[in-house]
Amino acid sequence: MGTRIARSLWASVFAGSLALAGAAGAQTVPKAKGIESADYEWNGMHVEKIDALELVGDAENGKVAYQACSACHLPSGSGQPDGSFPQLAGQHETVLIKQIADIRAGRRDTPVMHPFSMKLIDAQQIADVAAYLQALPIPPGNGKGPGNDLATGKQLYQRDCVRCHGKQGEGSEVKFHPVLAGQHYEYLLRQIRDIDAGRRRNAHPQMVKVLQGYTDEKLQAVVDYMSRLEWPVRAGKDRGR
């Protein structure tokens, strides 16, 4: 598989995703700000997403297909330090495939990205681009927060975030938890505010639940801490395991 996950493991991931999506619809979603349960879907396994996850991604072909994305995300995949475009290099294939497929299907609202995502002709190109980006090293020099309250940010991260995103922000390929290490502060802050406000319809239900107890000051503090995470393991099939 392009995601480097054994087929038996993929079957368990698929089943777990359906269970989490069902739990979200039944419990968490009605409490989320501005989201009706009918509009929410964390990780629904639709045809294109399933196809891309099961395909073997070709990084060389992905490099060519990525050229349409590089004007915004840069050839290095580093995005922009001001957070206008996220850092993509080193992100898990599963996460990239999920987000691209969700944007293409309208399950994640990203007007700027949508027309570019539609330039990918099929599930194979989605898998190829994801394979290419995962293989890129995470660039140094990402946009950091102001550093005003890192102690609070660290406490919140360790309490609420580390179980999914890991101590170093490494996330989990198997569980579709994104890499946070090397991501830009302003991008992370915008996304976490969107999740809190109900504007990100494909957010993990556990994040929706956790953020209900956060003030905006706490959001800024924990994201500031996230923006300083470093993950030394940059490549190889054991990432995020």
CATH number at residue 126: 1.10.760.10
Residue ending a domain, choose from 135, 167, 199: 135
The pLDDT-based confidence of 40 (bands split at 50, 70, 90) is low
CA dist 44 and 197 (Å) reads 21
Q: How many domains does the chain have?
A: 2
Same domain? For 80 and 114 the reply is yes
Instruction: For residue 221, give its domain range.
Output: 150-226
For the beta carbon of residue 26, count every other beta carbon within 10 angstroms. Answer: 11
pLDDT tens profile 170-226: 999 999 999 999 999 999 999 999 999 989 999 999 999 999 989 999 999 999 999
Domain assignment present for 62: yes
Judge whether 141 lies within some domain: no
Residues 170 and 96 in one domain: no
Same domain, 212 and 112: no
Contact between 176 and 10 under an 8 Å Cβ cutoff? The reply is no
Asked if 63 and 168 sit in the same domain, the reply is: no
Alpha-carbon span 42 to 203, nearest angstrom: 5
Q: How confident is the model at residue 10 (pLDDT cuts 50, 70, 90)?
A: low
pLDDT tens digits for range 72-124 = 999 999 999 999 999 999 999 999 999 999 999 999 999 999 999 999 999 99
| pTM as predicted | 0.85
Buried b (16+ CB within 10 A) or exposed e, 125-153: bbbbbbbbbbbbebeeebbebeeebbebb
* Residue 140 located in a structural domain: no
CA-CA distance, 30 to 32, in Å (whole number)? 6
Specify if 164 maps to a domain.
Answer: yes
Q: Which of 86, 92, 109, 108 is nearest to 227 (CA)?
A: 86
Does residue 170 share a domain with residue 120? no
Q: How far, in Å, CA of 121 to CA of 85, rounded? A: 22
Closest CA to 84 of 143, 3, 131: 143
The reply to whether 99 falls in a domain is: yes
DSSP-derived secondary structure letter, 70 = H
* pLDDT tens per residue across span 112-154: 999 999 999 999 999 999 999 999 999 999 999 999 999 999 9
Picking from 108, 135, 162, the residue at the C-terminal end of a domain is 135
Is 110 inside a domain boundary? yes
Q: 28: burial class by Cβ within 10 Å (0-12, 13-18, 19+)? A: buried
With H, G, I as helix, E, B as strand and everything else as coil, classify residue 211. helix
